[in-house]
Amino acid sequence: MKLLKILLALYQAVIVALSAFVIFLCIYYFFRPAPNVTYHWPNIVLAFLILVPTTIFCSCNVVKLLLPARNIFAKWKNLARTSTILTVLWTLLFGYLLIFQTYGGSCQTSPAGISSLQTGKLAPDFIVKDQPGETISLSGLRGKVVLLDFWGVWCGPCRQKLPHTQKIYDQFKDKGLAVIGIHSAFGTEKTADFIAENNYTFPTGIDPGHIAKDYRVNAWPTYYLIDKKGRLAWGPKHAPPSENQIESLLKD
């Protein structure tokens, strides 16, 4: 029993340290938001409401468990129960973020993670093969406006926004817009089946490993617009461009 209490205290100490760090990041980026990054504030607020009481109760319980002779917080009868409940909630939240947010949910990385390419500069060239096996090169699309959609089957927000990418493709494909989906180099096993099941018809290629790196992509989905001369015109963004933005480039 004593060993279990020590292990629980150590686990809760780790939880307190991680929670405090995340709380600090939330506060920091609330007052100093990073550019070109989409923040899911409802999720952040929900996490914040769990992390703050978890930090308080678990830190107190760690002191109580590791220093039993001092009788610190001994009169706080519900401390052990409350901290245990919050520990379970924290563990479930962490598991949710690890499994669904990394492989099937929100795919944002650290807000400081995006380093933008310079707008107006020539976009990095690349060559990919789409699902039917056709070769696509960015330089071969000069004269067209190009929308790049960096996504992954494992990414929940990517899957949610792909219908909008398809809508853009259907609306502007005959007006001078080329849409290229760039699936991440990770988790490609179900890509072809997923595209077929959802009837996505815009070309999608598998990143050979350098395209996302060349475009400074470390959060999915990420979108870029490239003008008719092959220059970066818009992005990186984590939401698709508006119709007005596309129409403006098509008129240039």
Kindly list the averaged pLDDT for each block of 10 residues, start to end, along the chain of length 252.
85 91 78 53 74 92 87 84 91 71 45 61 94 91 97 90 96 96 88 94 93 90 96 93 95 86
Same domain, 62 and 135: no
Q: Do 172 and 204 sit in the same domain of this protein?
A: yes
Tell which residue, 236, 202, 217, has the closest CA to residue 131: 202
User: Tell me, what's the pLDDT at 113?
Assistant: 40
| pLDDT at site 102 | 44
pLDDT for 99 equals: 56
Q: Going by C-beta distance under 8 Å and a sequence separation of 6 or more, which residues neighbour residue 90?
A: 15, 19, 50, 51, 54, 58
Token code pair at residue 87: 């520990």
Note the pLDDT of residue 196. 94
In a domain, 108, yes or no: no
What are the distances in angstroms from CA 35 to CA 73, 147, 225? 44, 20, 17
In a domain, residue 93? The reply is yes
Reading the block at residue 109, the tokens are 């990385």
Same domain assignment for residues 125 and 240 = yes
Please give the pLDDT value at position 106: 44
Residue 90 belongs to domain spanning:
2-103
Q: Residue 91: in which H helix or E strand, if any? A: helix 79-96
What's the pLDDT score for residue 33? 58
Q: State whether 85 and 181 are in the same domain.
A: no
Specify whether 41 is located in the same domain as 9. Answer: yes
Q: What are phi and psi of 186, to 5 degrees?
A: -100, 140
What is the dihedral sign for C-alpha 101, 102, 105, 106? positive
CA distances from 14 to 1, 128, 194, 202 (A): 20, 44, 39, 46
Say yes or no: 85 and 129 in one domain: no
Number of domains forming the structure of the chain: 2
Would the pTM of this model clear 0.75, i.e. be above it? no
Is 244 found in the same domain as 139? yes
Decide which of 57, 74, 103 is a domain's last residue. 103
96 and 138 inside one domain: no
The CATH number assigned to the domain holding 139 equals 3.40.30.10
**Residue 251 identity:** K
